[in-house]
Amino acid sequence: MKFKQMIFCAIDFSNLNESKRFISKIADHIGGIKVGLEFFLKNGPHGVLELKKIGLPIFLDLKLKDIPNTVKKATENIVQLSPEYLSVHVTGGSIMLKELNLVKKTTKILGVTMLTSLDNKDLRNFGLNISNNEYVKNLAKIGVAAGIDGLVSSAHEVPELKKIINKKGFLYVTPGIRFSDNKINDQKRIISPGLAVKFGSSMLIIGRSITQSKDPIETLKRISENIEAQIES
């Protein structure tokens, strides 16, 4: 399938065997596996090492955020897992982001800007009277200055981010991917796979649309076709 390298499936399962079974079904049609808190808190580092055996790139989505020393020590324990990607919240601040040197030797650091489950109303409730675009751009500048390898945001913000980030190979990682007939669930800043790629996304994080589909392979084909159609239009 064309574009499969860009598609990272969010394996939001608790059960290790169920996760392995599901991945083995779709492994030939995706570019990587995204492992988040649900899986990690149940299966821990052992579970990640088990998934690594499948041979696909791993994005360990732990969204770390704490004081710099705590994050530094935590990431020292991640080195043994050497995931291809690791997420941290940019709102942890630039000192925290700079404390990741050891893990950076093996792993690309992705900075979470604003969760795709939030919108402008949430920002106002936080006391921030700015748009999500401005907020994400502010965080992007902090992340880039601290040397991270990519940003996690909605694809809606990617065109604006590309105007201010001029780094070759920089990664634009976008969750909140939905077709118009998909359930939105808890996401707010959603977008179709094709538009996300058209807007410049380099990695699409897609969970429930695939994992809860009656026919996950068919869904992956539809995702690929949707990207192709948008790119050609």
Under the rule (CB under 6 A), what is the footprint of ligand C5P? 10, 12, 36, 61, 112, 115-116, 152, 175-177, 185, 187, 205-209
Name which of 201 and 209 has its Cβ closer to ligand C5P: 209
Indicate the angle between helix axes 37-52 and 16-26, nearest 10 degrees: 60
Name which of 134 and 233 has its Cβ closer to ligand C5P: 134
- Amino acid identity of residue 128, one-letter, is L
Name which of 39 and 72 has its Cβ closer to ligand C5P: 39
In DSSP terms, 107 is beta-bridged to: none
- Closest approach of ligand C5P to the CB of residue 66, in Å: 17
Q: Which of the residues 4, 52, 63, 141 is marked catalytic?
A: 63
Token output for 112: 């979470």
Burial class (CB in 10 A: 0-12, 13-18, 19+), 28: exposed
For this structure, is 63 an active site residue?
A: yes
Q: Alpha helices of 53-154 — where are they, by DSSP H?
A: 68-76, 94-98, 101-104, 120-125, 132-145
- Closest approach of ligand C5P to the CB of residue 83, in Å: 15
CA distance 210 to 212: 6
- Closest approach of ligand C5P to the CB of residue 63, in Å: 7
Which of 165, 134, 139 lies closest to 152, judged by CA?
139
Residue of closest CB approach to ligand C5P: 207
Name which of 114 and 168 has its Cβ closer to ligand C5P: 114
- Closest approach of ligand C5P to the CB of residue 9, in Å: 9
SS3 188: coil
- Closest approach of ligand C5P to the CB of residue 160, in Å: 16
CA distance 87 to 64: 7
Name which of 75 and 87 has its Cβ closer to ligand C5P: 87
Catalytic residue IDs = 63
